[in-house]
């Protein structure tokens, strides 16, 4: 991932230094367990503990010859340790180290993403409660529907993030595994208790069964969860982009002092950060597809997944963290225009209350089909002649036979449509 979108803490997680350091952790924990079982002399283990290290430049130099990064790594470590290095990587295969170490890195990345999700949910919750009673027009198909509040719109997002936290916790749990089961997963050279102890000490769980690799359905679930979270972030961003349109202008992303919207038009305040989030979410969906393609490996393993994972795992985790943190800032400092919301409600001249009128007529004994036809007739007149909805209703002979003027005028009452807002908030925020 280019520096523009890779947070520094995620660049550190996926750096070569941290990858090799994680490999060394796996190798050393395996040695410690083998020493406790009496397979490695105590003196040799003390020497390994004291001297075990690596050189990234030296690893790259060796890899030019071996074309195998794990062998280049163990060779570099051996140069630091000396003769006792013969005990390092004893009974292991490359993927024992690589997959187990990757579990460490994925756990580190997953925990940081969860922190970012929590921070975003907190900000959304605060803004939702702030605008609990900020009345605005609800839209379906992009067209005015019925009255809602901006707080309710945000409460939907809050609950969505809660579900994402649950999904991500499960997905992180699914990749927080290691394996020390050998070349084809049969524990031919080490017993299963070695795997169990090594994984436990590394904060991982041992896979119940593996081949030479951990099975990639785990990683596909993890990347799919990341992609789904990205879909929601795009949804939030798209909503803000729509609300920021000049014709609507009910809310807009923050515009910093000194920020420029256009090189040609000084007046522009564009939703560029939201558009950025929308665009980057497409990458996350692509990474998820690649992770799914990685599930089908030949027999007990091939390495067709390896090259792809070197790209998609760092990119997807770092990118999602970037997007979550960006959206947290956007929503936290989002500018809201309640007066414009009220003004926009007036654009449809009272037609947002047609549903209540339909119920009032049926309550008076009118067939629903007849009531619908009468109201729609009046609504079409409002659309075509730009008249006030209530005034057209008062002129309609069929409706006036059933409802008095006071009954018709009382329909235009947002409190009727919003009477259960408090109940909704209790259901969302008391979970």
- Enzyme catalytic residues: 141, 262
Angle between the N-to-C axes of helices 69-81 and 42-51, in degrees from 0 to 180, rounded to the nearest 10:
110
- Residue 9 CB-half CA count within 13 A: 13
> Looking at the DSSP assignment, which residues form a beta bridge with residue 205?
177
- 148: helix, coil or strand? strand
Q: Which residues contact 213 (CB under 8 A, 6 or more apart)?
A: 95, 99, 179, 297, 300, 301, 305
Q: Compute the distance between CA of residue 418 and CA of residue 148 in angstroms, rounded to an integer.
A: 7
Return the H-helix or E-strand segment holding 58: helix 56-66
Q: Compute the distance between CA of residue 412 and CA of residue 353 in angstroms, rounded to an integer.
A: 6
CB-count burial class (<10 Å; 0-12, 13-18, 19+) for 144:
middle
Q: Report the relative pairing of strands 135-140 and 177-178 from DSSP bridges.
A: unpaired
> Looking at the DSSP assignment, which residues form a beta bridge with residue 135?
149
Q: Which residues contact 73 (CB under 8 A, 6 or more apart)?
A: 20, 23, 54, 59
Q: Compute the distance between CA of residue 191 and CA of residue 38 in angstroms, rounded to an integer.
A: 14
Q: Which residues contact 46 (CB under 8 A, 6 or more apart)?
A: none
Backbone phi, psi, residue 136, to 5°: -150, 170
């Amino acid at each position: 991932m280019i520096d523009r979108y890779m947070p520094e803490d995620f660049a550190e997680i996926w750096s070569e230094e941290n990858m090799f350091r994680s490999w060394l952790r796996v190798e050393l924990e395996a040695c410690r367990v083998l020493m406790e079982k009496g397979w490695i002399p105590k003196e040799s283990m003390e020497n390994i503990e004291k001297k075990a290290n690596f050189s990234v430049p030296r690893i790259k130099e060796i890899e030019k010859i071996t074309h195998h990064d794990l062998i280049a790594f163990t060779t570099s470590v051996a140069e630091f340790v000396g003769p006792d290095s013969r005990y390092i990587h004893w009974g292991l295969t490359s993927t024992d180290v690589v997959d187990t170490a990757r579990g460490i890195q994925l756990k580190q990345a997953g925990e940081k993403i969860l922190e970012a999700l929590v921070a975003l949910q907190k900000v959304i919750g605060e803004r939702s409660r702030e605008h609990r009673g900020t009345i605005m027009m609800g839209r379906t198909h992009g067209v005015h529907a019925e009255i809602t509040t901006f707080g309710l719109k945000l409460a939907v997002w809050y609950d969505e993030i809660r579900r994402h936290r649950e999904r991500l916790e499960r997905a992180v749990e699914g990749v927080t595994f290691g394996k020390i089961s050998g070349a084809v997963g049969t524990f031919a050279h080490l017993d299963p208790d070695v795997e169990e102890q090594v994984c436990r000490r590394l904060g991982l769980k041992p896979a119940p069964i593996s081949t030479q690799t951990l099975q990639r359905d785990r990683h596909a679930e993890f990347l799919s969860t990341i992609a789904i979270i990205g879909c929601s972030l795009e949804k939030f961003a798209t909503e803000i982009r729509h609300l920021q349109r000049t014709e609507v202008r009910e809310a807009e992303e923050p515009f910093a002092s000194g920020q420029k919207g256009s090189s040609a038009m000084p007046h522009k305040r564009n939703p560029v950060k939201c558009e950025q989030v929308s665009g980057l979410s497409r990458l996350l969906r692509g990474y998820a597809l690649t992770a799914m393609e990685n599930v089908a490996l030949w027999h007990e393993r091939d390495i067709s997944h390896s090259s792809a994972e070197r790209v998609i795992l760092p990119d997807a985790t770092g990118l999602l963290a970037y997007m979550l943190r960006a959206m947290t800032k956007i929503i936290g400092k989002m500018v809201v225009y309640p007066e414009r919301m009220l003004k926009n409600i007036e654009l449809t001249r009272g037609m947002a209350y047609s549903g209540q009128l339909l119920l009032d007529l049926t309550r008076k004994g009118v067939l629903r089909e007849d009531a619908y036809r009468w109201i729609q007739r009046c609504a079409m007149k409002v659309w075509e002649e730009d008249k006030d909805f209530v005034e057209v209703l008062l002129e309609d002979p069929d409706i006036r036979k059933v409802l008095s003027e006071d009954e018709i005028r009382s329909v235009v009452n947002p409190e009727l449509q919003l009477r259960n807002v408090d109940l909704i908030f209790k259901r969302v925020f008391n979970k």
